[in-house]
Amino acid sequence: MPRKSNYVPSIIQTKCECYLCHKGMESGLEVHHAIPGRGNRKICTEWGLTVWLCPKCHRDLHDHNIGYREIQADAQRAFIKDQKKKGLPESVAREIWYDRFKKYYD
């Protein structure tokens, strides 16, 4: 997996395979940031809100919104779970999520 100074491993996905179709690394996986919008890519990278997608699923997601909502909801759930592991109450974790993304996906 690529390593950059601000890179955090995904908190959504542990296997290095396409998140949607489960193809392995041989398919040329690409990183997808779970939450769209200006400034959210950096936050997604720093918070581990990324998934691996094969090129076909990545194109389908961007061109036809196939799997987008699923990934966004999974990102929100993973973030809240991660914050609870760090000792924050769920209500505080949800508030942090909303303050940043201005939307709930569940």
* Relative orientation angle of helices 68-85 and 90-101, to the nearest 10 degrees: 130
Q: Return the closest-CA partner of residue 47 out of 34, 61, 30, 29.
A: 34
Q: Return the closest-CA partner of residue 96 out of 81, 74, 8, 10.
A: 81
Identify the pLDDT of residue 33.
Answer: 96
pLDDT of 97 above 60: yes
Q: Supply the pTM of this predicted model.
A: 0.88
d(CA 35, CA 37): 7
Identify the pLDDT of residue 6.
Answer: 59
Per-residue pLDDT of 30-81, as tens digits, reads 999 999 888 899 999 999 999 999 999 999 999 999 999 999 999 999 999 9
**How many CB atoms are closer than 10 A to CB 8?**
13
